[in-house]
Structure 1
Amino acid sequence: MDYISTRDKNLKISSSQAIVAGLSKDGGLFLPETIPSFSLAEIQAMAKMDYIGRAAQVLSAFLTDFTKEELTEYISQAYRREKFPPKEVAPVISLDAQANILELFHGPTCAFKDFALQLLPYLLTASLKKNGVNKTVVILVATSGDTGKAALEGFADVPGTKICVFYPEGGTSNIQRLQMTTQTGENVMVFAAKGNFDDAQNGVKRIFTDKEFAKALDEKGFLLSSANSINWGRLAPQIAYYFSAYCEMLLAGRIALGDKINIVVPTGNFGNILAAYFAKRCGLPVNMLVCASNRNNVLTDFITTGTYDKNRDFYLTSSPSMDILISSNLERLLFMLSGQEDEKIRELMNQLVSCGRYTVDDLLREKIKAEFACGCADDGKTFETIGEVYKKTGYLCDTHTAVAVRVYEEYRAATGDKTPTVIASTASPFKFAGSVLPALGEKPQGDDFDLLWALAEKTQRTPPPALTELKNKQERFTAVVEPKKMKDAVAGWLDVK
């Protein structure tokens, strides 16, 4: 299967080459030229498998450079029991007659990014070998909170790799920050970047498209790649857990084979919900995809109006992983729905760079609205939802999941849609204890670790050791850089002039 760039569909490379490159040289994103399909019989067969088998089945259809045996080995290592304790890996919990929670936070960093970033090091190092690349690959990551730690955890001390993470100064929860700044490993580096996530993400993109810097790196034996969801190797593993969720619903008798489901995803960069869209395009019976935003509701406005406009106030919210105004993965969706019109995509992305906004034509806007519903929830609604859901059902949502639940509840009330629904739960509530406690009527007191244990006592739950153990770890990385100095920071770390 060939992979093509969203900005030049004539540029064709293999899946392993796409994983190594991360971002196309023309600034576009790679995606498969054709979409594989799964029959209902194949989905029924997946239901009899464990998560490892389901993921291998899905990924082998996309990553055709790899044998199914290779992928099964990588997936087995990435999702082994000591990293993902629950037997189901991605369990589905019933919330009410229609709503079900897909828990994606049982990995080593307590966030959904673990599904991709525990597997990506295996895919990347194997891809390097398949393409005869003997250089040290340098992973650059911009994070709004969860990706950074998940990437650091996945790549720490992996031979032949180095990883550098940029997070927005003051733009993550303190627990998220500590997860990154205390990271162990001889090949890791972390910087705080002034500004917001978009500033950090744009800084990383500028580094990737700097040809002179790429040449200097090459002379030192380095090759740039990405662990953000701009890298297809990051996005593809996320498709698998939507197939798995459908299988879990089948096994629980919540649906019959062929019944359609809705999927609701809290998202800022559009990668997680795009993975659900790919699952639908592959044949997973999906009715509606519901895009849930927080107060930074650029995606809600875009799906509603067809105009994407990042020229707006930026807000720091209680769901920081969604505090994003430039949703990079939207480019992939526009490319697919436009019929692979790369010239149109180049024009739209150039408009975004030059004036911060673009408007799609009426046909494309209607295609988007046929696939996606949307909504947003500010912090007030988020806290209200955490408290209400806990009181009614005993289920404890983190702030991001609560955004999705609230948007789904408003969508269901407005439409009367009673389709069985999967809501992606993207992080452990203990990562945001300082926000979850007030939603339960408790006044936060003490430091972040006091809050962890206060939430544990309030809810009679055990906080993840990966979070409580941070208290005794030494911070290693405290440097702060301006976005325009990010390249210099990377060069200094790598000793590249």
Structure 2
Amino acid sequence: MNFIQTRGVDNSKPEKVTFSEAILSPIASFGGLYVPENLPNLGEAFLNKHRNSSYKTLAKDMLDAFAIDIDSAVIDEALNLYDKFDDASNPVPVVKVKENLYVSELYHGPTRAFKDMALQPFGIVLSSIAQRLNENYLILAATSGDTGPAALETFKNRANVKVACLYPDGGTSDVQRLQMVTEDAANLKVIGINGVFDDAQSALKRLLASETFKKALQEKDTKLSAANSVNFGRIIFQIIYHIHSYLELVRQNAISMGEKVYLNVPSGNFGNALGGYYAWKMGLPVEKIIISSNENNVLTRLIRDGKYDLRGCEVVSTTSPAMDILKSSNVERVLFDLFGEARTKELMLSLEEKNFYELREDELARLRELFDADYCTGEEGKKYIKETFEQYDYLMDPHTATCMKSYETCSKDDIKSIIYSTAEWTKFSPVIANALTGEVDTKDIDALQSIAKVAKLQIPSMINELFTKEIAQKTVIEKEAIEEEILKFL
């Protein structure tokens, strides 16, 4: 399968590239992104074939349908990493919370967040390509809290790969920060910046497009790639769990094959929702995709009003910090799919130059056929955490809690909803402890112990051990010094 470009083609890039080429160099012409030239049409026959398949069998067959240029043995090795999740036979449990509401738990991997679903196999795939080509790669990652730990975990000590991970200092939970700064592999560099996630992501995109930076890397015999969801190597693995979650509902006799469901996604950078959108286009029976946001509700306004307006906006720090994002990269891929390359380029350049774009009335109508959206405040989220735990004995993190409001406001009672839980309770324990007990200003370790006692749960060992590990990564800099710091690391 070939990959094409969301903003058209300039003279610096070929018109079409392979999957390997797209993930090794993920930024396309005019600063755009790569998308599949065609999506495989799977349909009900594919779903029926995998009615009782394991997650890995489903994943392998779907990847085969994309006909990507990765050796089958490498794909098998990559997918075998799911065996290290909490339950090798079912790495993504789908749990009924109440009538018509199911939670797809995407956080049972090594860093306790949904980014493991894509980044665990992605690390092996990218490293294998680099080794095959006998090339060295610098992988850039910008994180609001979950991509960083997952990227560092998958790439540590991998051949032909180094990672520079940017995170907003003070903008993650303590557990997320500790997961990054205690990593001590020689091929990893963690850089805190005095800023917000959008500053880190903007720096990543600028460096990916910078010929000067690439030339400096070339002098060090190094090429450049990225672990963020601008890279389709992430997205392709995120399609799988949407199909799996639907089949889990069939297996549980919650729905009949072919029955439509809502996909309700807590959304920051939109990669998770994009995976659901592609699964829908490939044949998954979906009623609508519901986008759940926090107070940084640019996506809610886009889907309701057709305006992406960042003029005068600043990121608001919330109780769901992984979604404290204003520029959602993967919206661009949906715009391209709906409106084509010329209109996508026009809209994205307007956003970059004016911090604003507006869809036409007919364009908004098309978007509204596919998506609905609402946002949830931090106080509302804590109320949902407490109520859901007390009424249904189900514990959720603050990102998952945003979906509870949009479940109430955007879905019909007679259609089943799948909510995607993106992080374990351990990642944001002070917020959850406050919701359950009212305690405030609790340190992560104390909040973890408090929740474990109330909910009668064990703190996973990989989380508990963080608080006694040595801090190996101590760099915190101004955002203007990012390039210099990365080159120093190399």
- Contact 1:15/1:63 (<8 A) preserved: no
Choose 355-364 or 227-236, whichever is displaced more.
355-364
Whole-Å separation in 2 of the counterparts to 1:187 and 1:150: 15
Whole-Å separation in 2 of the counterparts to 1:471 and 1:492: 29
Q: Write the letter of the residue equivalent to 2:299.
A: L
Whole-Å separation in 1 of the counterparts to 2:332 and 2:384: 31
Q: How does 1:93-492 map to 2 (within 5 A)?
A: 93-129=95-131, 132=133, 134-311=134-311, 312-338=313-339, 341-412=340-411, 416-444=412-440, 447-492=443-488
Q: Write the letter of the residue equivalent to 1:455.
A: I
- Contact 2:183/2:472 (<8 A) preserved: yes
Matched residue SS, 2:191:
strand
- When the two chains are superposed, the root-mean-square deviation of aligned CA atoms in Å is 1.5
Which of the residues 50, 55, 65 maps onto 2:54?
A: 50
CA gap 1:475/1:63 in 2 versus in 1, 3 angstroms: farther
- Contact 2:82/2:88 (<8 A) preserved: no
Whole-Å separation in 1 of the counterparts to 2:104 and 2:431: 21
Alignment deviations for residues 166-204 of structure 1 (CA, whole Å, 9 cap, x no partner): 001111111111111111211000011111110110011
Whole-Å separation in 1 of the counterparts to 2:435 and 2:244: 31
Whole-Å separation in 2 of the counterparts to 1:123 and 1:59: 12
Which of the residues 50, 58, 63 maps onto 1:59?
A: 63
Whole-Å separation in 2 of the counterparts to 1:182 and 1:67: 34
Matched residue SS, 2:343:
helix
Q: What's 1:29 paired with?
A: 33
Give the TM-score of the pair, scaled to structure 1: 0.95
Gaps of 5+ in 1: none
Whole-Å separation in 2 of the counterparts to 1:424 and 1:318: 18
The Cα shift of 1:350 comes to 1.2
Alignment deviations for residues 235-270 of structure 1 (CA, whole Å, 9 cap, x no partner): 110100011111111111011111111100001111
Whole-Å separation in 1 of the counterparts to 2:442 and 2:207: 40
The Cα shift of 1:125 comes to 2.1
- Contact 1:17/1:127 (<8 A) preserved: no
The Cα shift of 1:465 comes to 1.4
Q: Write the letter of the residue equivalent to 2:43.
A: S
CA gap 1:492/1:70 in 2 versus in 1, 3 angstroms: closer
Q: Write the letter of the residue equivalent to 1:342.
A: E
Choose 23-32 or 465-474, whichever is displaced more.
23-32
Whole-Å separation in 1 of the counterparts to 2:43 and 2:353: 44
Matched residue SS, 2:63:
helix
Q: Write the letter of the residue equivalent to 1:481.
A: I
The Cα shift of 1:344 comes to 1.7
Which of the residues 82, 92, 111 maps onto 1:79?
A: 82
The Cα shift of 1:49 comes to 1.1
Whole-Å separation in 2 of the counterparts to 1:442 and 1:378: 17
Which of the residues 13, 16, 25 maps onto 1:12?
A: 16
Whole-Å separation in 1 of the counterparts to 2:441 and 2:398: 19
Gaps of 5+ in 2: none
Alignment deviations for residues 125-153 of structure 1 (CA, whole Å, 9 cap, x no partner): 233355x3x22110001100000000000
- Contact 2:20/2:69 (<8 A) preserved: yes
- Contact 1:294/1:379 (<8 A) preserved: yes
Q: Write the letter of the residue equivalent to 1:472.
A: T
Whole-Å separation in 1 of the counterparts to 2:406 and 2:346: 32
Whole-Å separation in 1 of the counterparts to 2:195 and 2:394: 35
CA gap 1:357/1:68 in 2 versus in 1, 3 angstroms: same
Give the TM-score of the pair, scaled to structure 2: 0.96
- Contact 1:204/1:486 (<8 A) preserved: no
Q: Write the letter of the residue equivalent to 1:326.
A: K
- What percentage of aligned pairs have identical amino acids? 36
Whole-Å separation in 1 of the counterparts to 2:131 and 2:413: 49
Matched residue SS, 2:474:
coil
- Contact 1:86/1:106 (<8 A) preserved: no
Whole-Å separation in 2 of the counterparts to 1:493 and 1:184: 13
Alignment deviations for residues 19-74 of structure 1 (CA, whole Å, 9 cap, x no partner): 11122253111110111111212111112211111111112222521355542332
Whole-Å separation in 1 of the counterparts to 2:72 and 2:49: 16
Choose 352-361 or 97-106, whichever is displaced more.
352-361
- Contact 1:243/1:284 (<8 A) preserved: yes
Matched residue SS, 1:8:
coil
- Contact 2:7/2:29 (<8 A) preserved: no
The Cα shift of 1:441 comes to 2.4
Alignment deviations for residues 415-450 of structure 1 (CA, whole Å, 9 cap, x no partner): x34211110000001111100011112415753212
Matched residue SS, 1:79:
helix
- Contact 2:110/2:116 (<8 A) preserved: yes
Whole-Å separation in 1 of the counterparts to 2:458 and 2:27: 40
Q: Write the letter of the residue equivalent to 1:405.
A: M
